[in-house]
Structure 1
Amino acid sequence: MTVQIERPPSGTADVRKGDDGAPGRPGPRAVPRAGALAPYLLLLPACAATVLLLGWPLLKDFLLSFQNLNMTQLIQHVTEWNGIDNYQEALTSEDFWRVTLRSILFTAVNVVLIMVLGTLVGLLLARLGRRMRVTLMIGLVLAWAMPVIAATTVYQWLFAQRFGVVNWVLDRLGWHAMADYSWTSSQMSTFFVIVVLIVWQSIPFVAINLYAATTTIPAELYEAAALDGAGAWRSFTTVTLPFLRPFLYATTFLEIIWVFKAFVQVFAINGGGPDRLTEILPVYAYVEGVGNQHYGMGAAIAVLTILILLGLTAHYLRIVLKQEEDEL
């Protein structure tokens, strides 16, 4: 059937007619305007919630960073603006840069351990039988779903000095000097407990993500690699890894953000101690702001923390994009 197109008068939609003269399907300009706006209307509640719950507190924190606000001004409802004095004091402080370096190293160690161990567990899930896979996934989900404070409380009990399970096991194994060892008495031992806690909580997310990614790899590729004489390692590097690379990039990006702002674990284990030697930037901002009642300084450190995190993630994304361009 041939189609004749009649050009309508200006301001009306195109109408297509068939040989029998019956009106056909309306042209592109007949699409309702409400349909074109539907995606934006659906996004509006999420955008409004983001602005309300994140944008407004961020704006208040930014304004507070330019104020000299302590308990006296807070009680008297006095606003005392001091310009960029808080930022100058923070950026010229050795403590700030020491904590910044500590935070970056802390994030790097955790992310490397999380990605390596999480990837190995994810590949293990792909190799296990159905029953063992379901059992392991249930354990991973339970560890992942445990509230942070609850998990931190459990680890405080495990590493307790007098009645901790870890000290008891080490004593039974022959390390009798560890029977009453205080894991929170030194910087390195405290960091060890925190790293174990964070890695334990984060492995399930990486493992389940990687396992889901392995299910998208066609089995024909492994068969072709086997016919070419590829062993297990070569099959992993030539078949598995190229498919997993986008998931590894995205997961690493998320882990950098989550570990860098790990306030609860660090503060709940020992409050940033001993002697403030395990403070990372979020804890440092809280102690300086709320603990020392210098709220403007705490807000300035929080803003600088956000900027440092944005810089780290931007640098990571640039590396990832460059690698993808080189592969193309």
Structure 2
Amino acid sequence: MTVQTERPPSGPADVRKGADGGASDRPVQRAAARVGALAPYLLLLPACAATVLLLGWPLLKDVLLSFQNLNMAQLIQHVTEWNGIDNYKEVLTGEDFWRVTLRSILFTAVNVALTMVLGSLVGLLLARLGKRMRLTLLIGLVLAWAMPVIAATTVYQWLFAERFGVVNWVLDKLGWHSMADYSWTSSQMSTFFVVTVLIVWMSIPFVAINLYAATTVIPGELYEAAALDGAGAWKSFTTVTLPFLRPFLYATTFLEIIWIFKAFVQVYVINAGGPDRLTEILPVYAYIEGVGNQHYGMGAAIAVLTILILLGITAYYLRIVLKQDEEGEL
């Protein structure tokens, strides 16, 4: 025998209860939605705070210092002497600043061009090698990339040393006996040659590994289709490989411009901007004027102008890249 019980019909009280329950849930849902919307910003907050603390505050101090007349006497006496824009006037009206600026731009252009060409060739070579040879080359690239800048610069000082350098010894053995005791830091061009070899050697691994990683995402079917259409190696590269690699090349070139433009350690350690200050680039020029000559306000003004010039160069480069992307889409 089955006993059936009927559920009492829901009355107005139950309807009111359900309505009230839904209404009470809405503020909770809204609060959860707001927390969810703020979650990305909360996650970025520690990184932003660290950036402001480690970069923003020193930059602000540098800007304030650039409007001061600060030398060793004021520094010892803890005297703050404001001189307005006199430091900027002295820098911008002098010939040395513009000469060093032009030298820095040419130095960056040559190093970036060599790095991108050689790094791209090594990256494409990695994509064509077998597993063992690729692994061996990758290990060598990573070791060169991971070497500290000071250590690498010291090694190059030994390699190009005047009396006991390996480079001079090899050139002497190959028949160039005049290079046996050659001083690579005695002239502007030879010093820049050593610095350029060092910077390009340290920069190639980043470009090569980045480019090789980009080649791994290219679908193999595209190469097969190009081969069926009768495309050779060069045609396949220009129609398949290069379009895929173009965004990576743009991004890598952008980073290389920034890194090479502010290459202080390599230039200063090799010859301290010599001989006769002919190999100074803007970061070295700012350091020598500020710390070496104890004109700290002047050095700070040069550093601020260096940042503005670098921002202008990168903005010009990004404008070219965006314009080419728009033309490509059209």
| TM-score category (smaller protein) | over 0.9
What residue is the counterpart of 1:270 in the other structure? 271
Count how many residue pairs are aligned between Structure 1 and Structure 2.
Answer: 312
What residue is the counterpart of 1:155 in the other structure? 156
CA shift for structure 1 position 252: 0.2
Work out whether 1:146 is the aligned partner of 2:142. Answer: no
- DSSP 3-state at the match of 1:108: helix
Q: Structure 1-normalised TM-score?
A: 0.92
- DSSP 3-state at the match of 2:243: helix
Structure 2 residue identity aligned to 1:198: I
What residue is the counterpart of 1:21 in the other structure? none
Work out whether 1:294 is the aligned partner of 2:295. Answer: yes
* Aligned-partner Cα distance in 2 for 1:29–1:44: 22
What residue is the counterpart of 2:319 in the other structure? 318
Give the helix-richer structure, 1 or 2.
Answer: 2
* Aligned-partner Cα distance in 2 for 1:198–1:7: 71
Give the stretch that moved more between structures: 30-39 or 285-294: 30-39
* Aligned-partner Cα distance in 1 for 2:302–2:231: 53
Work out whether 1:65 is the aligned partner of 2:45. Answer: no
Deviations 1:96-142 (A, max 9, x none): 00000000000000000000000000000000000000000000000
* Aligned-partner Cα distance in 2 for 1:60–1:11: 53
* Aligned-partner Cα distance in 1 for 2:20–2:304: 59
What residue is the counterpart of 2:304 in the other structure? 303
What residue is the counterpart of 2:78 in the other structure? 77
CA shift for structure 1 position 34: 2.5
- DSSP 3-state at the match of 2:182: coil
Deviations 1:253-304 (A, max 9, x none): 0000000000000000000000000000000000000000000000000000
Are the aligned partners of 1:13 and 1:30 in contact in 2 as well (CA < 8 Å)?
no
What residue is the counterpart of 1:109 in the other structure? 110
What residue is the counterpart of 1:133 in the other structure? 134
What percent of counterpart residues are identical? 85
Deviations 1:123-178 (A, max 9, x none): 00000000000000000000000000000000000000000000000000000000
Structure 2 residue runs of 5 or longer lacking an equivalent are: 1-17
- DSSP 3-state at the match of 1:279: coil
Matches within 5 A, 1:34-53: 34-53=35-54
What residue is the counterpart of 2:218 in the other structure? 217
* Aligned-partner Cα distance in 1 for 2:180–2:70: 47
* Aligned-partner Cα distance in 1 for 2:23–2:242: 56
* Aligned-partner Cα distance in 2 for 1:263–1:113: 19
- DSSP 3-state at the match of 1:274: coil
Work out whether 1:33 is the aligned partner of 2:34. Answer: yes
* Aligned-partner Cα distance in 2 for 1:36–1:322: 34
* Aligned-partner Cα distance in 2 for 1:106–1:312: 13
What residue is the counterpart of 1:249 in the other structure? 250
CA shift for structure 1 position 11: 6.0
* Aligned-partner Cα distance in 1 for 2:235–2:103: 38
Deviations 1:203-256 (A, max 9, x none): 000000000000000000000000000000000000000000000000000000
Q: 1:45 to 1:30 in 2, by over 3 A?
A: closer
Q: 1:30 to 1:89 in 2, by over 3 A?
A: closer
- Structure 1 residue ranges (4+ consecutive) displaced by more than 4 angstroms after TM superposition: 6-15
Matches within 5 A, 1:185-224: 185-224=186-225
* Aligned-partner Cα distance in 2 for 1:55–1:259: 22
Q: Structure 2-normalised TM-score?
A: 0.92
Are the aligned partners of 1:144 and 1:201 in contact in 2 as well (CA < 8 Å)?
yes
Between structure 1 and structure 2, the one with the greater Rg is 2
* Aligned-partner Cα distance in 2 for 1:236–1:194: 33
Are the aligned partners of 1:8 and 1:14 in contact in 2 as well (CA < 8 Å)?
no
CA shift for structure 1 position 33: 3.0
